[in-house]
């Protein structure tokens, strides 16, 4: 993966547009001088607003412990299957399977302008049930017992004959539906960017940015164990910054994975530069957080 390295001066002479001012902290010693960014004047004081992505590649340390169980010592399929099952069992006992236990390495930092689209989806899950159904279960007779009155009424009311009789009178059984809370889903959010490169160099920067997101949103098929495993995709940490500091007016974001990527190389019809690079590219990223956001986290800024 190619990264852009932008020096701040040559021979002691400052370069116009170099990374200075309130946003210079974004690209300090923590990440060194190699990073991906768009547009070219992102760090200028006139912009101020930045969304920063830290790309975290998941290391394979725990995978190495488990994969050894998938190397059968002979061609006996029964023994191989048995060793596989026993190996998985041993691996599960010896490896901390918590997602937080996975080790990760920061492989890239991408800083972009505040997106054209930035929306969050909070999803609660609800189910429904009929009190008639619940009542039938509660009053159902035990083995050897006769059904009680309530059970008879409920079961009779659910028959087609009963429904037809009630319909002739302009009536229908009220099932007494109740809404039940089942839980919450992982929060999702979408960011959309439009890239219109100013130069050949900036067009290459855009290409690198799009490629990086595509690359680390996907798994990698391992070369060992006959390709039976994926190394899972990278995770992303996002920060919304204003003048170099976290913007507390926008929701914090938990560590996330990319669910979908949409790249449009011809948002307004196909037009290209002389070298074939598209004049404009739109990038839409759909993320899902890997931890649940509850009421307490909302109070904490999420």
Per-residue pLDDT tens digits for 161-211: 777 777 887 877 787 888 889 999 999 999 999 999 988 899 999 999 999
67, 108: one domain = no
**Residue 224 sits in the same domain as residue 262:** yes
pLDDT at 103: 79
Q: Write down which residue in 40, 75, 95 finishes a domain.
A: 95
pLDDT at 78 over 90: no
pLDDT-derived band at 77 (thresholds 50, 70, 90) equals low
Based on the fold, state whether residues 81 and 194 are members of the same structural domain. Answer: no
Q: How far is CA 277 from CA 6, 37, 204, in A?
A: 22, 18, 8
Q: How confident is the model at residue 129 (pLDDT cuts 50, 70, 90)?
A: confident
Instruction: Please check whether residues 111 and 91 belong to one and the same domain.
Output: no
Please tell me whether residues 151 and 214 are part of one structural domain: no
Query: Which residue would you say has higher pLDDT here, 268 or 90?
Result: 268
More confident residue, 81 or 274: 274
* Integer Cα distance of 164 and 159 in angstroms: 9
pLDDT average, residue stretch 271-289:
94
Q: 12-21, 49-58, 94-103, 227-236: which has the minimum mean pLDDT?
A: 12-21
Q: Which of 83, 42, 29, 91 is nearest to 63 (CA)?
A: 91
Question: Is 0.75 surpassed by the pTM of this model?
Answer: no
For residue 234, count CB atoms less than 10 angstroms from its CB and return exposed for 0-12, middle for 13-18, buried for 19 or more. buried
What is the domain extent for residue 70?
62-95
Last residue of a domain, one of 160, 183, 206: 183
214, 274: one domain: yes
Name residue, tokens 């404009």.
280
Taking 3-state DSSP, the helix, strand and coil percentages for the chain, each rounded to the nearest 5, stand at 30, 30, 40
287 and 215, same structural domain? yes
Please state the domain count of the chain: 3
In this structure, the answer to whether residues 130 and 118 fall within a common structural domain is: no
| CB distance 235 to 290 below 8 Å | yes
């Amino acid at each position: 993966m190619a990264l852009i390295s932008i020096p701040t001066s040559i021979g002691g002479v400052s370069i116009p547009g170099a990374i200075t001012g309130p946003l210079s902290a974004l690209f300090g010693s923590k990440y060194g001088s190699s990073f991906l960014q768009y547009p070219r004047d992102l760090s200028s004081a006139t912009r101020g607003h930045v969304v920063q992505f830290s790309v975290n590649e998941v290391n394979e340390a725990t995978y190495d412990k488990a994969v050894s169980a998938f190397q059968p010592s002979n061609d006996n399929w029964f023994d191989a299957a048995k060793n596989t099952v026993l190996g998985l069992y041993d691996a599960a006992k010896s490896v901390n399977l918590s997602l937080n236990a996975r080790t990760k390495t920061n492989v890239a930092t991408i800083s972009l302008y505040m997106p054209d689209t930035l929306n969050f989806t909070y999803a609660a899950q609800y189910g429904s049930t009929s009190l008639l159904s619940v009542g039938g279960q509660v009053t159902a007779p035990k083995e050897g017992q006769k059904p009680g009155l309530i059970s008879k009424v409920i079961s009779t009311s659910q028959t087609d004959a009963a429904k037809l009789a009630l319909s002739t009178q302009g009536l229908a059984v009220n099932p007494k539906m109740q809404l039940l809370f089942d839980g919450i889903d992982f929060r999702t959010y979408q960011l959309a960017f439009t890239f219109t490169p100013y130069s050949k160099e900036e067009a290459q920067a855009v290409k690198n940015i799009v490629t990086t997101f595509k690359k680390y949103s996907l798994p990698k098929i391992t070369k060992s164990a006959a390709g039976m495993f994926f190394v899972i995709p990278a995770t992303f940490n996002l920060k919304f910054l204003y003048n170099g500091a976290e913007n507390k007016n926008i929701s914090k974001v938990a560590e996330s994975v990319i669910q979908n990527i949409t790249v449009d190389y011809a948002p307004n019809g196909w037009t290209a530069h002389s070298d074939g690079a598209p004049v404009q590219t739109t990038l839409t990223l759909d993320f899902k957080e890997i931890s649940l956001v509850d009421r307490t986290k909302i109070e904490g800024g999420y």
